């Protein structure tokens, strides 16, 4: 085996190292045991480079002939090491972005070193071209680390719209294929006229276009997330407003009853002095009915009790029986607004699902308690019609197109406490289990 030729092929395939770094850096938070994955990737790429270089050296093949097989194997390995929550579309997008960067480096290095490549009789590029390629890849990798990698991590962490990822990944994938197709078969062609300068400018502009595409996707997603957050905050403010009005009405009624209490005492005293016991009993029954609480207390915590009271009243008007088990303390070890956001959104979804059922099948059960001083558990369970809208394993709203805002809002608060939110469905029973680490 010609070791010098083998070394040139190895340098040619060594572009896989920065390419893998870009993919793993973007997916770092979504990898199974990230450090171990990085070691596995380094080992696999080394074996792949050695094997492909040896194969090309022995049979005199062009390195591009193995490119489809390398892409398929690399993508399969990447999918193997990412967590199930990362969809195929998300993986394909980040993989394609990395492929574009490496294709740009390959094309630029070939164009820039075209004069030296003219005298190259081999099917593999010169070592100088390969080293220039690796240098360009290193520069782009550093540039991507401070920009696109951070944008990608944010998108994976905060934005889960599958339609967005499905429509996004084909563009960089097709562009990477186009760049590979544009690779000059004869380097001398690049030296004709101003073609070399035009080629460098065209590739550089296209690279800038990829950066711009990534930034625009990031910016649009952040704007969408901001609008969704404002919408959730508006929903919370609306719930707080309803609770305030209910509390204000309660206080007004209490103030009126306390003001009238003296008059009632005069009547009671008069009936007692005259011995009119039957009239006294009748009057007391009327007064007791007036003083009776319109709804029972459902929770020791005032904010949760007000929210539960509102939805209990709403459920009663809709003909949905609700069983409450809210064993929570008067003072919660967390902001009450966060728990009310989770509970309010889950209850709203449960009542909406119950409306699609016959009255005799409607039922909602709510349980919440402190499992420990630093852990809170919440379960909302309801019957539903058995129809769920799912895409790529992600539950979508049955009220409108896209994911449900209420469920996304609840998940956002749960993630704030490093908690978990699990959905269970069995025999027309929908259950949401929430665990919060306080």
- Same domain for 85 and 199, yes or no, is yes
Nearest to 318 by CA among 278, 279, 357: 357
Does a structural domain hold residue 91? yes
Q: Are 9 and 63 spatial neighbours (Cβ–Cβ below 8 Å)?
A: yes
Dihedral of alpha carbons 166, 169, 175, 181, sign: negative
- Same domain for 124 and 165, yes or no, is yes
- Same domain for 405 and 373, yes or no, is yes
In angstroms, rounded to a whole number, what is the distance separating the alpha carbons of residues 296 and 216? 52
Q: Are 328 and 286 spatial neighbours (Cβ–Cβ below 8 Å)?
A: no
Tokens 């929210």, residue located: 307
Does a structural domain hold residue 297? no
Residue 372 falls in which region: left (phi positive, over 0), alpha (psi -120 to 50) or beta: beta
Residue 276 falls in which region: left (phi positive, over 0), alpha (psi -120 to 50) or beta: beta
- Same domain for 217 and 281, yes or no, is no
Q: Please, which pLDDT band fits residue 21 given cuts at 50, 70 and 90?
A: very high
Q: Give me 97's structure tokens.
A: 């972005």
- Same domain for 218 and 242, yes or no, is no
**pLDDT of 268-299, one tens digit each?**
777 788 877 787 778 777 766 655 555 667 88
- Same domain for 135 and 273, yes or no, is no
**Which of residues 204 and 233 earns the better pLDDT score?**
204
Q: Are 424 and 431 spatial neighbours (Cβ–Cβ below 8 Å)?
A: yes
Percent of the chain with pLDDT over 90: 20
Domain count, the chain: 3
Distances (CA, A) of 116 to 10, 204, 325: 19, 21, 79
**pLDDT of 124-183, one tens digit each?**
888 998 999 999 999 989 988 888 888 888 888 777 667 778 888 888 889 888 888 888
Q: Give me 80's structure tokens.
A: 């193997």
**How high is the pLDDT of residue 39?**
92
Strands 429-437 and 420-426: antiparallel
Does a structural domain hold residue 296? no
**Which of residues 365 and 224 earns the better pLDDT score?**
365
Distances (CA, A) of 291 to 264, 269, 302: 12, 19, 20
- Same domain for 145 and 275, yes or no, is no
- Same domain for 283 and 308, yes or no, is no
In angstroms, rounded to a whole number, what is the distance separating the alpha carbons of residues 163 and 389? 14
**How high is the pLDDT of residue 154?**
85
- In 274-354, which residue ranges form alpha helices assigned H by DSSP? 277-291, 302-318, 336-354
- Same domain for 38 and 121, yes or no, is yes
Dihedral of alpha carbons 327, 332, 334, 335, sign: positive
Nearest to 70 by CA among 149, 147, 17, 123: 17
- Same domain for 186 and 314, yes or no, is no
**pLDDT of 245-275, one tens digit each?**
766 776 676 677 666 776 777 777 777 888 7
In angstroms, rounded to a whole number, what is the distance separating the alpha carbons of residues 96 and 218? 16
- Boundaries of domain holding 246: 235-291
**How high is the pLDDT of residue 396?**
42
Does a structural domain hold residue 57? yes
- Same domain for 197 and 279, yes or no, is no
Give residue 255's Cα distance to chain centre. 48
Could you tell me the CATH number of the domain that includes residue 314?
A: 3.30.565.10
């Amino acid at each position: 085996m010609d070791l010098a030729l083998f070394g040139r092929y190895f340098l040619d395939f060594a572009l896989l190292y920065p390419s893998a770094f870009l993919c793993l850096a973007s997916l770092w938070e979504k990898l199974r045991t990230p450090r171990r994955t990085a070691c596995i990737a380094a080992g696999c790429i080394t074996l792949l480079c050695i094997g492909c270089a040896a194969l090309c050296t022995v049979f005199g093949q062009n390195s591009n002939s193995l490119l489809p097989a390398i892409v398929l194997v690399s993508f399969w390995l990447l999918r193997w090491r990412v967590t199930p929550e990362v969809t195929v579309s998300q993986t394909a997008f980040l993989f394609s972005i990395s492929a574009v960067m490496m294709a740009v480096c390959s094309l630029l290095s070939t164009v820039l070193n075209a004069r030296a490549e003219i005298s190259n009789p081999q099917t593999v590029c010169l070592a100088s071209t390969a080293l220039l390629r690796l240098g360009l890849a290193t520069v782009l990798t550093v540039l991507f680390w401070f920009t696109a990698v951070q944008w990608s991590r944010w998108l994976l962490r905060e934005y889960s719209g599958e339609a967005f990822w499905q429509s996004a990944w084909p563009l960089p994938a097709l562009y990477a294929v186009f760049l590979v197709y544009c690779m000059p078969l004869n380097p001398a062609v690049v030296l004709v006229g101003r073609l070399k300068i035009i080629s460098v400018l065209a590739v550089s502009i296209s690279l800038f276009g990829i950066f711009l595409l990534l930034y625009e996707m990031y910016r649009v997603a952040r704007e969408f997330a901001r609008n969704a957050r404002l919408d959730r905050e508006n929903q919370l403010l609306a719930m707080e407003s309803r609770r305030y009005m209910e509390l204000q009405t309660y206080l007004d009624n209490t103030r009126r009853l306390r003001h009238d209490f003296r008059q009632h005492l005069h009547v009671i005293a008069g009936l007692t002095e005259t011995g009119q016991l039957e009239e006294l009993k009748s009057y007391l029954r009327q007064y007791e009915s007036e003083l009776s609480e319109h709804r029972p207390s459902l929770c020791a915590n005032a904010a949760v009790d007000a929210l539960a009271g509102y939805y209990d009243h709403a459920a009663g008007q809709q003909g949905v029986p609700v069983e409450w088990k809210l064993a929570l303390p008067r003072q919660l070890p967390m902001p009450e607004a966060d728990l009310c956001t989770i509970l309010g959104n889950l209850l709203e979804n449960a009542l909406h699902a119950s409306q699609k059922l016959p009255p005799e099948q409607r039922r909602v059960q709510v349980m919440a308690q402190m499992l420990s001083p630093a852990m809170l558990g919440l379960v909302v369970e309801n019957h539903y019609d058995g129809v769920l809208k799912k895409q790529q394993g992600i539950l979508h709203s049955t009220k409108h197109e896209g994911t449900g805002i209420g469920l996304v809002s609840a998940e956002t608060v749960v993630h704030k406490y490093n908690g978990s939110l699990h959905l269970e469905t069995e025999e027309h029973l929908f259950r949401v289990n929430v665990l919060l680490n306080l």
